[in-house]
Amino acid sequence: MDQMGSVLLERYELGRLLGQGTFAKVYHARNLITGMSVAIKVIDKEKILKVGLVDQIKREVSVMRLIRHPHVIKFYEVMATKTKIYFVMEYAKGGELFNKVLKGKLKVDVARKYFQQLISAVDYCHSREVCHRDLKPENLLLDENDDLMVSDFGLSALTESKCKDGLLHTTCGTPAYVAPEVINRKGYDGMKADVWSCGVILYVLLAGHLPFHDSNLMVMYRKISKGEFKFPKWFEPDVRRLLIRMLNPNPKTRISIDKIMKSSWFKMGWKKPATTATENQELAPLDADGIFKVCENGGPEPKHELTMPCNLNAFDIISFSTGFDLSALFEDTVLKKQMRFMSNKPASSIISKLEEICKQLCLKVTKKDGGLFKLEGSNEGRKGTLGVDAEIFEITPHLHIVEFRKLNGDTMEYQKLFRQDIRPALQDVVWTWQGENPQEEQQQHQVVQEEHQPSPTA
């Protein structure tokens, strides 16, 4: 089916081959309904299953659903058959930035524009808790307006992938662009590693060659580890200072993205990219596991949606119960906007606890009719002020369900607030969170309580 002129799943007409690797080919294609040009990445299921790249593909799907930015390749949809996976993405008409770099150094203003767009995209990715980990000119594409687009999130990592020490431990990326702490295999901060890669890219754009290069790979690694490089004579003092801070081999003192954006060289002519309504819209959750399920008829995997009824019925009560939670079939936990827990405490105790937590977090609480409350943030977030509805349902006088629904604001900020602040603080009134075992939850609470008890005196 992946031949020029053929029609893919009755939706896309495949065109010329744009590029290929060991496990995938990328084609230009046309949407038969809208006529829009797209790029379709065709991945061979059997090959990636054999070499164990399933998690990498799932990660790429999950990450691409999180990132909606003017300078990141847009992800439209994913389809699957028995043998193939198809990523439908934005088509970058200008090709790879790498092709421009091959011709030599760029003019300062041009290099600065690409760098500004790159940093803007990386800053956004980091705000979504996503580290790219393979930034290089080959993964930076150009659109028809010669604007930069970051692509290829196959090696990216969510911060949830960190180990207990809070660091990433997978060595990945392209040697010449990889930070020294990644090479040393001692664990690293993915965001700091991305800053290093951006520094190498900026150097390449301005110089026309790599800062760390040697025919002997070990010698090159030694230069990277020590941060040994020289500036061409045409580099301006401002950009030299910036690069010294970006290519600092010590990640702890390496410049942050925020400070890069405040540097004098970066700010020259900088205009924050305007986001469209489509980019502000958060994509519906997508089941990354579903693309690996065998589809008997060879067609695309079915798409599931879960809608909550206004009133609780028997099916809803069953779905809240341990062992019958069906939400995982429909919802992506990274983007889930609803959270529920069951409690065997009186409604008054739950309300008091919520009010206490909101006061500590400087959240405004507004009571509505029945058991409905609105929680509002005090600070302006990336997509306005965060607003959350909290509703208490009485199943029996001693059994309640509490549901939180995000009304407005940024979903990742909402998730972060619950994961780091609200959920831990609610442990006194929670019997079980949706999908978790009540006994396990009680054991966890008991361990927490024991840890906070004072040690017996001798």
How much is the pLDDT for 115?
A: 98
Judge if 7-91 and 314-451 fold alike in CATH terms. no
419 has a pLDDT exceeding 60: yes
- Give catalytic residues, as residue numbers: 134
Stretch among 190-204, 306-320, 330-344, 386-400 having the lowest mean pLDDT: 306-320
CB contact at 8 A, 79 and 40: no
Topology of domain 7-91, CATH: Phosphorylase Kinase; domain 1 (3.30.200)
**What integer pLDDT is reported at residue 456 of this predicted model?**
44
Q: Which of 177-181, 193-197, 334-338, 357-361 has the lowest mean pLDDT?
A: 334-338
Average pLDDT over residues 387-410: 78
Band (290; pLDDT cuts 50, 70, 90):
low
* Between 443 and 47, residue with greater pLDDT: 47
Q: Given a cut of 70, is residue 291 above it in pLDDT?
A: no
Of the chain, the end-to-end C-alpha distance in Å amounts to: 76
Q: How confident is the model at residue 312 (pLDDT cuts 50, 70, 90)?
A: very low
Q: What is the pLDDT of residue 444?
A: 46
Average pLDDT, rounded, for the chain:
76
Residue 431's pLDDT band (boundaries 50, 70, 90)? Answer: confident
Return the pLDDT at 37.
Answer: 95
Higher pLDDT: 137 or 279? It is 137
Q: Name the class of domain 314-451.
A: alpha beta
Residue percentage of the chain with pLDDT more than 70: 72
Residue 164 in this model has a pLDDT that exceeds 60: no
Residue 153 pLDDT? 66
pLDDT attached to residue 134: 83
Say if residue 263's pLDDT is above 70. yes
Lowest mean per-residue pLDDT among 188-192, 371-375, 392-396: 392-396
Tokens of residue 346, six digits? 């009186």
Q: Which one is predicted more confidently, 294 or 304? A: 294
Per-domain residue ranges of the chain: 7-91, 95-267, 314-451
The Cα 48–Cα 21 span in angstroms is: 12
Binding residue per annotation — 41? yes
Residue 356 has pLDDT above 80, yes or no: yes
Q: What is the pLDDT of residue 158?
A: 43
- Which pLDDT belongs to residue 178? 87
What local confidence, expressed as pLDDT, does residue 416 receive?
84
Q: Does residue 23 surpass a pLDDT of 90?
A: no
Which of 4-18, 156-170, 373-387, 424-438 is predicted with the least confidence, judged by mean pLDDT? 156-170
* The architecture CATH gives domain 95-267: Orthogonal Bundle (1.10)
